């Protein structure tokens, strides 16, 4: 049985509000499926699953404010028993093992939905921008630690596609070779 927790999406985040569940109890879940949307005081983000299985139980409903690292749902096998109560000490050890690193969370945020551009004129404005990227391109970028905010998409509507990511990887490799050659000379 896997725990789905409210992720900590920023250094100051203490809780988030579940805006909308995209899956319901009994749905089959794959790694990377969007489970729910969470709103913080700064931004709304989609939370993806880190595990595959069946969404066995939703503990927190739409509109509920949930502290970070609190369990919001369980994913498991179709007939797997749902835990009744978890000892706080045991849960904290499990969360330490399962909680993604800050780099993982930042990569998910960057590759998932939103980047924030802050512009200062006479007053501060925050512009939220959806990054359009194919699933394959996103996987390749994550696997190769490519910052997708630096890629111009050539697909329909500016969508980032596999070739765009591969071109960026090749450019990075060429830039690395140029640096090595300049160090030799």
pLDDT category at 9 given cuts 50, 70, 90 is confident
pLDDT at 124 exceeding the cut of 80: no
Output the pLDDT for position 143.
87
pTM of the model: 0.47
pLDDT for 58 equals 93
pLDDT at 103: 56
Do residues 59 and 85 lie in contact, with contact meaning Cβ atoms separated by under 8 Å?
no
Pick the CATH number of 131-184 from 3.40.50.720, 3.90.220.20, 1.25.40.10, 4.10.320.10: 4.10.320.10
C-alpha distances (whole Å) from 177 to each of 67, 78, 164, 183 are 47, 51, 20, 10
Domain positions in the chain? 2-100, 131-184
- H-assigned helices in 28-154: 88-98, 102-112, 135-143
Pick the CATH number of 2-100 from 1.25.40.10, 2.40.50.100, 2.60.40.10, 2.160.10.10: 2.40.50.100
């Amino acid at each position: 049985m896997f725990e789905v927790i409210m992720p900590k999406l920023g250094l100051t985040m203490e809780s988030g509000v579940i805006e909308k569940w995209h899956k319901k109890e009994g749905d089959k879940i794959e790694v990377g499926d969007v489970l729910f949307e969470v709103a913080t005081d700064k931004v709304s983000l989609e939370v993806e699953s880190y595990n595959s299985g069946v969404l066995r139980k939703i503990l927190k409903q739409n509109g509920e404010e949930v502290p970070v690292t609190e369990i919001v749902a369980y994913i498991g096998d179709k007939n797997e028993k749902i835990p009744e109560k978890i000892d706080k000490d045991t849960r904290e050890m499990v969360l330490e093992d399962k909680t993604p690193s800050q780099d993982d969370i930042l990569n998910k945020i960057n590759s998932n939905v939103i980047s924030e551009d802050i512009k200062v004129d006479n007053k501060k404005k925050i512009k939220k921008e959806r990054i359009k990227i194919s699933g394959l391109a996103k996987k390749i970028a994550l696997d190769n630690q490519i910052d997708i905010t630096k890629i111009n998409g050539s697909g329909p509507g500016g969508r980032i596609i596999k070739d765009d990511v591969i071109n960026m990887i090749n450019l990075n490799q060429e830039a690395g070779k140029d640096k090595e050659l300049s160090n030799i000379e």
